[in-house]
Chain A
Amino acid sequence: MALTDEVKRYLPDGIAARLKYPKLADFERPNVITTTADLVFNWARSHSVFPFQYGLACCAIEMLSSGFARYDIARYGMEVFRPTPRQCDLMIVAGTVNEKMAPVLLRLYEQMAEPKWVISMGACATSGGPFYDGYNVVNGVDKVVPVDVYIPGCPPRPEALFDGMLQLQRKIQQLTFARPEKVEPLYGADAPWHADVIGPQAQFGGRVSKKRLTP
């Protein structure tokens, strides 16, 4: 469990080191552990990320290969790939996003459980990659959904995917209940694809962002 400096400030001297690396003797008698809700929740969240089993192109082969025994994603507590977005909180966009897939991707993202994260895996998902000029290619999945971690590579090796996931773990551990991150709505009610893709604006309480509208 990572102890932030903020937490360490309130702990007696020497305790922080023992909390981080407790000795067996510390558990031999009844104990009280004082911690923060943030720490516990973030620790739990960051070590049980459920990725969405969702591949678009060759990056998906690397993603699947990292799930199997040789690279073994289970070492980081992220091995439970779910085939439905409703049981996931991490979408690994592994591959080229094209114009026909983008609304589907957006809908799948909407169906994922909160809080949720997106990893853009590989050159295609990040920027369009080698297909940047393609007539049917969306130049980066961040035009469709908000992305937390970008992984370069074409395709990235499993090690690179793990590095991205560890970055994501670090990002998750920075969340806090006290000062929730201000979440900007993804799109406004007058976005051109909005009516077709998601229907009424009910779930965002009518908040309209002008920032992400198409020109």
Chain B
Amino acid sequence: MSLQVGNVRIDADELAARLGRAFAGELMDVAVQEPDTVVARLAREKVKDVARRLHDLDETPIDSLTLISSVDYVTHLECVYHLYSYAANLYVELHVELPRGRPVVATVSDVWPSADWHEREAWDMMGIVFEGHPDPRRILLKDDWIGHPLRKDYVDDVRNHPYV
């Protein structure tokens, strides 16, 4: 494994095919969304296992996590992991669907350390619980904030605003 960016010369179609083979039955709807981005869906029970194996892939390790975004689709929540492989110079997007009632998913901060703050932000703003997170505090709002403001059904609590 070399640190040189893009030294494994494959395109997104090839990476999608490889991921589809290596993670058959785990990554669903593997597709190429943009010339450099592979998109896939993933069941939330398999996040931990798949993350570790993606990170430890032989030729094209998906070794960087750029961002974790969270989306409220009203019917359900979704967690999107934006990953990047330095070796292949390609991006991978993992969409993980979460039920609104109990949005719990395993942490990947032990696989990609950069996930730490992103998961705290997703908890803070969207209320997604990351099981096994080393430091599950709020990151942007104050610690005693009530509610998760980026949820579509968020109702502001007057106790959040002592200065009126």
Contact = CB atoms under 8 A, between A and B. Distances in A.
Contacts of B161: 99, 138
Given A99-B142, A100-B141, A135 B160 contact: yes
Interface in B107-164: 140-142, 145, 149, 154, 156, 160-164
A143 B163 contact: yes
Interface string A164-192: 00000000000000000000000000011
A143 B156 CA distance: 19
B163 A136 contact: no
Nearest to A101: B142
B164 A135 contact: no
A73 to B, nearest CB: 30
A214 B162 contact: yes
List 10 tightest A-B contacts by C-beta distance, closest first: A143-B163, A100-B142, A193-B162, A135-B149, A138-B163, A192-B162, A144-B163, A102-B163, A135-B156, A214-B164
A191 B145 CA distance: 18
B34 to A, nearest CB: 33
Main secondary structure of the interface of B (DSSP, over half): loop
What's the interface size class on A, roughly? 10 to 19
Contacts of A214: 162-164
A143 B163 CA distance: 6
Nearest to A142: B163
Nearest to B164: A214
Nearest to B157: A135
Interface string A110-140: 0000000000000000000000000110110
**Residue of B142, B154, B162, B163 contacting most chain A CB atoms (<10 Å):** B163
B163 A99 contact: yes
Nearest to B142: A100
B164 A215 contact: yes
A100 B154 CA distance: 19
Interface string B21-53: 000000000000000000000000000000000
Contacts of B149: 135-136
Interface string A151-168: 000000000000000000
**Residue of B142, B145, B160 contacting most chain A CB atoms (<10 Å):** B142
A102 B160 CA distance: 12
Interface in A67-114: 99-100, 102
A135 B156 CA distance: 7
Interface in B32-76: none
Contacts of B140: 100, 136
A215 B145 CA distance: 19
A191 B160 CA distance: 14
